[in-house]
Structure 1
Amino acid sequence: MKETAATVASDHLRVMFFLTVEAEAQARFLAAYDRICADVADVPGHLMDQVCQSVDDPREWVITSEWRSAEDFAAWESGEGHRELAMPLVAETTNRRSVRFLVRRETRQKAETR
């Protein structure tokens, strides 16, 4: 079966958190990330998360979070318990910034049928 790419329209929200985590805090940071992801996975509208570490500067991290819609993310972010849940992860960072993007096109591999 040959793989081909498919580009489709999307209205998902991608949230990106750019974080600086010093070497001595990285194990605690990842442990906090794992605990948060277990809770966020059950939030309505949440699709996925990734945590990535820079190959150029291991202190630099990015967390990407994908949501079905901006409204789903806003409901979770403004809801009770959001800040408490994120506090252990934030405590391990020395610098942080977040940005939000609407996904307009998405390209994924798909199986070609014969």
Structure 2
Amino acid sequence: MNEQQNDPRARVVFLIRVPRARTEDFLRAYEQIRYEVAEGVPGHLVDQVCQSPADPEQWLITSEWRTLADFEAWERSPGHRELARPMRDCMTEARSLRFVVRQQTTARPATHDPAPATVEG
């Protein structure tokens, strides 16, 4: 078993609602913290903020972490709530889900097997 299987990456998903009138405030708040998180939070790999085209008040924030423990340490850190407060102030609903990555789609490695023989009839 490799290290990644022993301590798999984590994906954290937030399903949130942001009233249309708060959209710009929400995006501005995200812009203010995203680099601080990306450059300064141990274990943080990437995050995305997505808006539903069918329901513009429905948002999805996903983040990927080296391990679930890294995310949980960040969430418990003293600065976390204060840093996230401007975004949370824009939300009317929020739900959090946590997952560990068990498998990931990647291209198959190139093989050196010859092309399969064809049968002519």
Q: TM-score, normalised by structure 2?
A: 0.80
Structure 1, gaps ≥5 residues long: 1-7
Runs of 4+ in 1 over 2 A off after TM superposition: 108-114
Residues 23/112 of structure 1: CA separation in 2 closer, same or farther (3 Å cut): farther
1:79 correspondence with 2:77: yes
Indicate the structure (1 or 2) with the bigger Cα radius of gyration: 2
Structure 2, gaps ≥5 residues long: 113-121
Q: SS in structure 2 opposite 1:92?
A: coil
Q: Which has the higher helix share?
A: 2
Show the 5 A alignment for 1:95-114: 95-109=93-107
Tell me what 2:14 maps to.
17
RMSD: 2.0
1:90 and 1:55 map into 2 onto residues whose CA distance is: 21
The Cα offsets for residues 64-105 of structure 1, whole Å up to 9 and x where unpaired, read as: 010000111111111111000000000001111101011101
Percent of aligned positions with the same letter in both sequences? 49
Tell me what 1:5 maps to.
none
Q: TM-score, normalised by structure 1?
A: 0.85
AA paired with 1:56?
A: A
Higher RCO (Cα < 8 Å, 6 or more apart): 1
Q: Which has the higher strand share?
A: 1
